[in-house]
A and B are shown apart, each in its own frame.
Chain A
Amino acid sequence: MSIFPQGAYGAYGAYGAYGAYGAYSATGAYGAYGAYGKYGAPPESPVLANALISTHDGISGVQLQDLGGVLPGAPNNTKNLPRLSAGVRAAIYQAELGPTVDVTYASECGNPTAVLWRQAVDPADHQILRRDPMVIMSPPDIEQFKKQMTLISNYAQIRPDREAEILTQIEVPMPFYAAIVFIDPARTPYTLELLNAALAFASNAYQRIKYTLAVKRPIELSPQIQPMIPTPTHGALPSGHATEAFIIARLLWKLLLQSNTPQYEDTAHWGEMLMRLASRIATNRTVAGVHYPVDSVAGALLGLTLAQHVYSMCRGGNWWSTSFHGTRFDPHEDFNWHQLYNADGDKMKPFAQSPCEVWMTGEEVKVNAGVAPSPVLSWLWSRALKEWKDIRSKTA
Chain B
Amino acid sequence: MHSWTTEHSASASTLLDHVTDYRLRLSERQSRVEAKKFWWSVLIELEGVSIDAFAASVTRFDDHLMIPVEYDREDRARKRALQPVTIYARQPLIDSLNQIDNPYHVVSVHLGAITPKETLAFDATPALMDDIVVEPDTVVMAIVDYGIAIAHNLFRRKLMKTRIEHFTSFESEAVEGGHSSVGRALEREEIDRYLVSQTYNQLLDEDMFYQVTGQIDWTSGRGSAVAHEVSHGTHVMGLAAGHAMELGCKNRPIICASLPTWLVADTTGPGMLPCLNLAFHILTKQGRRFRFRNGGYAPVIFNFSFGDTSGPHDGTGIFTRLFEHYFAVDGVREREDQSSWLTLPCGNQNLDRLHAVAGLEPHTRIDLSVLPDDRTPTLVQLWLPNEENGVSSTSADVEVTTPSGQRAAITSLPGQSAALVNDEGIEIGRLACQYEGQATKRILFNLVINPTTHGVDEAPYAPAGTWKIEVRVSNPGEDQMINLWVQRSESLPGIRTGARQAWLNNENYVRYDRFGVPLAVDPKNSECPVKRAGSISGFACGETPIVVAAYSRREAEISLYSAAGPLAERRQPPYVNRLGPDLAAKGDDSYVRRGVLSAGSRSGSLVRLSGTSVAAPQVARAAAKSIKTWDGSARSWAAGAVKHDPFPLRGEKDPTRAGAGGLKTGRYFSRTRSKH
Contacts and interface: CB of A to CB of B under 8 A. Distances in A.
Indicate whether A and B interact: yes
Interface string B61-94: 0000000000000000000000000000000000
A121 interface: no
Contact of A272 (B200, B223, B228): B200
B235 to A, nearest CB: 15
For the complex, would chain A's binding face be called helix, strand, loop or mixed by DSSP majority? helix
Given A155-B218, A332-B219, A161 B228 contact: yes
Given A151-B218, A334-B218, A268 B201 contact: yes
B59 interface: no
Nearest to A152: B218
Given A151-B219, A334-B211, A338-B208, A267 B202 contact: yes
B494 A157 contact: yes
B651 interface: no
B202 A154 contact: no
A361 B66 CA distance: 46
A161 B229 contact: yes
A267 B201 contact: yes
A154 B218 contact: yes
B224 interface: yes
A293 B219 CA distance: 11
B496 interface: yes
Nearest to A336: B208
Contact of B219 (A150, A271, A283, A342): A150
A271 B218 CA distance: 27
B419 to A, nearest CB: 34
B197 to A, nearest CB: 10
Contact of B200 (A283, A334, A342): A342
Interface string B206-230: 0110010000011111011001110
Of A153, A272, A293, A343, the most chain B CB neighbours within 10 A belong to A272
Contacts of A153: 221
A343 B201 contact: yes
B351 to A, nearest CB: 25
A276 B603 CA distance: 14
A372 B119 CA distance: 59
Interface string B457-501: 000000000000000000000000000000000000011100000
B201 A157 contact: no
B426 to A, nearest CB: 27
B391 interface: no
Contacts of B494: 157-158, 160-161
A157 B208 contact: no
Interface residues of B, number: 21
Interface in A151-195: 151, 153-155, 157-158, 160-161
A335 B4 CA distance: 54
A269 B228 contact: no
Contacts of B202: 267, 269, 272
B229 A272 contact: no
Given A151-B218, A269-B201, A269-B202, A157 B211 contact: no
B361 interface: no
B203 interface: yes
A111 B229 CA distance: 40
B218 A272 contact: no
A276 B217 CA distance: 20
B608 to A, nearest CB: 14
B367 interface: no
B631 to A, nearest CB: 47
B205 interface: yes
Nearest to B227: A158
Nearest to B601: A161
Interface string A139-156: 000000000001101110
Range for the number of chain A residues in contact with chain B:
20 to 34
Of A158, A279, A338, the most chain B CB neighbours within 10 A belong to A158
B200 A338 contact: yes
Contacts of A92: none
Interface string A199-234: 000000000000000000000000000000000000
A153 B227 CA distance: 14
A276 B494 CA distance: 24
Contacts of A132: none
A158 B211 contact: no
Contact of A154 (B200, B208, B221, B228): B221
A289 B494 CA distance: 17
A329 to B, nearest CB: 14
A276 B228 contact: no
A352 interface: no
Contacts of B495: 157
A201 B106 CA distance: 72
A273 interface: yes
A287 B419 CA distance: 44
A150 B208 contact: no
A344 interface: yes
Nearest to A344: B201
Contact of B220 (A154, A273, A276, A342): A154
Nearest to B494: A157
Nearest to B221: A154
A153 B219 CA distance: 9
A12 to B, nearest CB: 29
A276 B218 contact: no
A331 to B, nearest CB: 9
A6 to B, nearest CB: 34
B118 to A, nearest CB: 13
Contacts of B228: 157-158, 161
A160 B493 CA distance: 10
21 contacts: A150-B218, A150-B221, A151-B218, A151-B219, A153-B221, A154-B217, A154-B221, A155-B218, A157-B223, A157-B228, A157-B494, A157-B495, A160-B494, A161-B228, A269-B201, A269-B202, A273-B203, A276-B205, A332-B219, A343-B200, A344-B200
Q: Which 5 interchain pairs have the tightest Cβ spacing?
A: A272-B201, A268-B201, A151-B218, A154-B218, A161-B229
